[in-house]
Chain A
Amino acid sequence: MSTTTTHAAPSAAATISTGRLLYWSVQRELWEHRSLYVAPLAVAALILVGFTIGLVDLPAKLRTAAAAGGMEQRALVEQPYTFAALLLMGTTFVIGVFYCLDALYGERRDRSVLFWKSLPVSDVTTVLAKACVPLFILPLLTFAVTIVTQVCMLLVASGRLIGTGLGVWSQLSFGEMTWTLFHHLVLGHGLWYAPIWGWLLFCSAWARRTPVLWATLPLLAVGLVEKIAFGTAYFGNWLGSRLMGGPADPAPAPDNDHGVSMTMVGITGSTPGQLLISPGLWIGLALTAIFLALAVRLRHSRGPA
C-alpha cells in the first residue's frame, strides 16, 4: 500500500520524544491536582505553628530527657520530628489514594478525556504519567517537604534555646533520620506500595462510577469469602502486611510488631538492601505492571463515562 508510506512520511519527521511527552503529561497532572503539593504544605505549616507554640516548655522537656539518658533521651528529643514526618507521610498517602482513584475516572466523568485523546499522546504514556505521581513524585515531594519542615523546626527550637545552654542539634542524628526517611519514602511508599497504587489506578480506569467502592468492596469480599469458606485470613493478613509492614514478613505474620513505631528508625522494618532483594517487592512490582497494563487497555477501549 504505497499511499500509506507517502502519508506516514511527514508525520514521522514531526515526532516528539517519549520523554518529552511523559514530562508534559506529568506536568498536566500537577496542574490538575494542585492538592498534591498544597495539602502537604498546609500540613507542614500547621505542624510548624503547633511546634512553635509547644516550644514554651522545651527547656524543661530537654532536661527531663537528659535525666532519662540513653535511647530514651534520644527518643524523646526525636519525637516531634518523627511525628511531623509521620503526619506528612499520612497526608500524602491519603492524597495518593484519592489521586489514583480520580486519575482515570475523573477525565471520563467530565468528558475531558475526549480532549486528551485529541492529542498525539498514547494511552501508555498517559497511564505511566499518572502512575509516576504516587510512585515517584509524591514520595520525593513528601521527602522534600518533611526535610524543610524538620529544618525549620530545628531552627525555631534552636532560637528558643538561645541562652539556656541547651541544644538540639547535638542530640539528634539528623543525617541518619534523613536517610531513613528517604529510603522509607522512596522504597516503601513508592515501590513497596506500588501494587496498591496500581490497583487503585486500575479501579479508576474500570469503574463506571464510584471507583472508591470498586477499589475496596472486592477486597473486603475476598477476605470475607476466605473467612467463611476456610476460616482463615491469609488475604487480609497479606493486605495488612502490604500496608503496614515491609518485606521482613512476606508470609502473613499477625504478630507484626515493627509496622508502626514512633522513632525514625522504627518506621522502617528493614534496610534498603533487605527490601531490594525481597521477593515481596518484586512480586508487588510485577502485580503493579499487570494492573497498569489493564488500566492502559481500559483507557484505550472505554469512552467517557
Chain B
Amino acid sequence: MACVEARGLRKAFGSTVALDGVDLRLSEGRIVGLIGPNGAGKTTALNAILGLMSYEGELRVLGRDPWRERDALMRDVCFIADVAVLPRWLRVSEALASLAGDHPRFDRAKAEGFLAKTRIAPGSKVRDLSKGMVTQLHLALVMAIDARLLVLDEPTLGLDLLFRKQFYDALLGDYLDLNRTVLLATHQVDEIEHVLTDLLFIDRGRIVFNHTMEEVEADYQEVLVRPEKVAEARTLQPLHERDSLGRTVMLFAGASRERLVSLGEVRTPTVADLFLAVVGGAQPAAAREGAAR
C-alpha cells in the first residue's frame, strides 16, 4: 500500500526549478530519511506532499490529492514544519483544548502524559518557552495524534544535543509502530541513521538515491584500502574515494565482498559517507578540492 506516490512531480519558482520530475513511492510503515544539501528541494517536496504548495505532475498521499484535499488529508497526516511555527501567543492549555476540539484523532490525555514528562507548565505561553521546549510541546501534540503519516522537516534544527537526543528517543519509544510512516528531512544525518528503514537522497530537484537500509547494507561497502592495494582498488571503479587519517577510503557499490576483503578492511558506510559519495560525487570539482586540503 503506497503512502506517498509521485510521478513526474515538478515545481518551479520563476526560472528556478525546485523539483525536476520526482518519481517516488513510499510504502506504509516505513521510516524514510529524505536527505539533501540546502536548496536541493527537500522542503519543496514536503510542502507538495502536505498540500501547502501547488505542483505539476501526479501526487497522491494516502490516496488523496494533497493540494485539493489538504484539510481532509490532515486528519491522517501530521507534520512539524520546523521549530518555532507554534504561534507565540498560544497557551499550552489552549493548544490542547483546540486540538481536542477540532482534530478527530487527537488524544488529549496522551498529550498531557507526554507533557508531564517535560518541564512545560500547562499555563505557559509558547513565547515563554525555550526553543527546545517549544519543540517538545509540538512533538507532544503531534505524537498524541493517531496519524498514519508523520512528516518532519528539520525538526531539531537549532536544538542542542540533549534535546535532539530526547526528541528522537521520544519519537522512537512512544510513537513508532508498524502502521505509521514517517518522512523525515534533515541534514543532521548521523543522529537518525539507526532509525531509518529507507534512504532517499535528493539533489537539485531530483531523487538521486532511493534504497532501503537492507539494500544499502547488502550493496554498499566502504573499504579502508591498504596503501599497496590502492591502484588495484581503483580498477574496481569505486563510487567515491577520500582520505581518512592518511588512509584511502573507497566506496563500492555491488562489488563482491571477497574481492573487497582482499583490498583492506571492509565496513558498511555511514549515511553521511554515502551521501558525500552519491551527492558530493555529482559535484566532483568541489568534493575533490575539499578532500585535497
Contact = CB atoms under 8 A, between A and B. Distances in A.
Interface of A: 1, 3-8, 10-11, 14-16, 20-21, 23-25, 27-28, 31-32, 107, 110-112, 114-115, 117-123, 125, 301, 303
Given A20-B101, A31-B94, A8 B87 contact: no
Contact of B89 (A5, A10, A23, A31): A31
Interface in B21-72: 47, 50-54, 60, 62-64, 70-72
A14 B79 contact: no
A111 B81 CA distance: 10
Contacts, number: 99
A120 B62 contact: no
A128 to B, nearest CB: 13
Interface stretch (B102-110, B165-173, B227-235, B252-260): B102-110
B102 A11 contact: no
Given A11-B76, A117-B52, A303-B52, A16 B62 contact: no
B78 interface: yes
B71 A122 contact: yes
17 contacts: A1-B63, A3-B1, A4-B63, A7-B1, A11-B72, A14-B105, A20-B102, A24-B101, A31-B94, A107-B87, A114-B52, A118-B78, A119-B103, A120-B73, A120-B103, A122-B70, A123-B71
Contacts of A123: 71
Which of A16, A25, A31 has most chain B Cβ within 10 Å? A31
B99 A119 contact: yes
Interface size, B (range): 35 or more
Contacts of A303: 47, 52-53
B159 interface: no
Given A27-B98, A111-B81, A301-B54, A120 B71 contact: yes
Contact of B85 (A4, A14, A15, A112): A112
A25 B101 CA distance: 9
Contacts of B105: 14
B239 interface: no
B75 A14 contact: yes
Contacts of A21: 102
A94 B104 CA distance: 37
Contacts of A111: 81, 84-85
Contacts of B102: 16, 20-21, 24-25, 119-121
Given A24-B102, A25-B102, A119-B103, 4 more contacts: A3-B63, A28-B98, A114-B81, A115-B87
B108 to A, nearest CB: 13
Interface string B176-220: 000000000000000000000000000000000000000000000
B131 interface: no
A1 to B, nearest CB: 7
B79 A110 contact: no
The 10 A-B pairs with the shortest beta carbon distances in the complex, nearest first, are A7-B63, A112-B87, A14-B104, A4-B63, A122-B71, A24-B101, A114-B81, A120-B74, A114-B85, A24-B102
B270 to A, nearest CB: 31
Contacts of A119: 74, 99, 102-103
A283 to B, nearest CB: 31
A32 B88 CA distance: 9
Contacts of B62: 7
A220 B88 CA distance: 35
A117 B70 contact: yes
Given A112-B86, A303-B52, A11 B75 contact: yes
B89 A32 contact: yes
> From DSSP, what is the main secondary structure of chain B's interface residues?
loop
> From DSSP, what is the main secondary structure of chain A's interface residues?
helix
Which of B53, B101, B102 has most chain A Cβ within 10 Å? B102
Contact of A115 (B2, B75, B85): B85
A32 B89 CA distance: 6
Contacts of A10: 76
Nearest to B61: A7
A95 B245 CA distance: 66
A31 B91 contact: yes
Contacts of B78: 118
Contacts of B87: 32, 107, 110, 112, 115
Contacts of B50: 117-118
A37 to B, nearest CB: 15
A31 B64 CA distance: 33
Contacts of B73: 120
Contacts of A125: 71
A89 to B, nearest CB: 26
B90 interface: yes
A25 to B, nearest CB: 7
A120 B72 contact: yes
A20 B81 CA distance: 26
Contact of B75 (A27, A32, A120): A120
Nearest to B106: A119
Contact of B2 (A3, A6, A114): A3
A125 B74 CA distance: 14
Contacts of A7: 1, 62-64
A114 B153 CA distance: 11
A7 B60 CA distance: 11
A302 to B, nearest CB: 10
B110 to A, nearest CB: 16
